[in-house]
Amino acid sequence: MKYQDNIEQVAELQPDYLGFIFYEKSARHFDSKNIPETPKSIKKTGVFVNEDIEFVLEKIKTYNLQAVQLHGEESPEYCLKLKFVASTTVEIIKVFSIKDEFNFDILKPYENVCDYFLFDTKGKLPGGNGYTFDWNVLNNYPSTKPFFLSGGIGLNEVEKIKEFQQSKASKYCYAIDVNSKFEIEPGLKNIELLKYFKEKLKE
């Protein structure tokens, strides 16, 4: 999210999380002085890429973030330190990128230092690339850690999501993360498309 009015409009749809990107190279970089008041049920989530822990802590405090999404090469030690210093109530979501295959052994050191994993599509950018990865890869998911499914999810993926929800791979899928496929421009969401997507998933 990027624009004040748009944030309020999306918040009315009651998502579980709202993301704010604190990465200057992103077209969705959030640089407003404040985030509008949102329902307490929505977790304000800061998205970071290889930032100093002090920078992340500053944003958590300034914007009263309830979660952080780590989109870079942050180490298990980094996650542990952030979890310890930030607060045990701030959720740590560690992102891993997938293309056609994935070495799940990479996850092991992160098991006890983050709250969720997020699987995104491997691309040129750290997120927001606009296309999906092969979700069948998650049939081999060896963990019980709940995860977010991300990467180019839009209206065309509704039936695919429903099929995925019936599969073994979805057992620990905690959330569906949407972004670029619902944008009018980077950071500006199409409210009607989001409403329609939510309705179609409920059918």
pLDDT at 99: 84
pLDDT: which is higher, 85 or 118 = 118
* Non-local CB neighbours of 31 within 8 Å, separated by 6+ positions: none
Identify the residue whose tokens are 């958590």: 60
Cα–Cα dist 71/20, whole Å: 12
The predicted model gives 11-40 an average pLDDT of: 96
Residue 141 near residue 104 (C-beta atoms within 8 A): yes
pLDDT of 57 reads: 95
pLDDT band, very low/low/confident/very high, at 125 (cuts 50, 70, 90): low
Asked if residues 68 and 91 have their Cβ atoms less than 8 Å apart, the reply is: yes
Q: Which of 4, 12, 28, 24 is nearest to 195 (CA)?
A: 12
Residue 109 banded pLDDT, cuts 50, 70, 90:
very high
φ, ψ (nearest 5 deg) of residue 101:
-155, 170
Q: What is the pLDDT of residue 130?
A: 65
By DSSP bridging, strand 183-185 and strand 173-176 are unpaired
Q: Say how far apart CA 171 and CA 177 lie, in whole Å.
A: 16
The whole-angstrom separation of Cα 189 and Cα 180 is 8
User: Measured on CA atoms in the order 87, 76, 131, 167, is the torsion positive or negative?
Assistant: negative
Q: Which of 48, 57, 2 is nearest to 29 (CA)?
A: 2
How sure is the predictor about 191, in pLDDT bands with cuts at 50, 70 and 90? very high
Residue extents of the structural domains in the chain: 4-202
Classify domain 4-202 at the CATH class level.
alpha beta
pLDDT score recorded for residue 129: 54
CA distance 186 to 180: 7
Query: Per-residue pLDDT tens for 71-107?
Result: 999 999 999 999 988 877 899 999 999 988 999 999 9
Please work out, in degrees rounded to the nearest 5, the angle formed at the alpha carbon of residue 24 by the alpha carbons of 134 and 177: 30
Pairing of strands 91-98, 116-121: parallel
Q: Please report, as a single letter, which amino acid is at residue 6.
A: N
**pLDDT confidence bin for 60, thresholds 50/70/90:** very high
Averaged pLDDT of the chain: 94
Percent of the chain with pLDDT over 90: 90
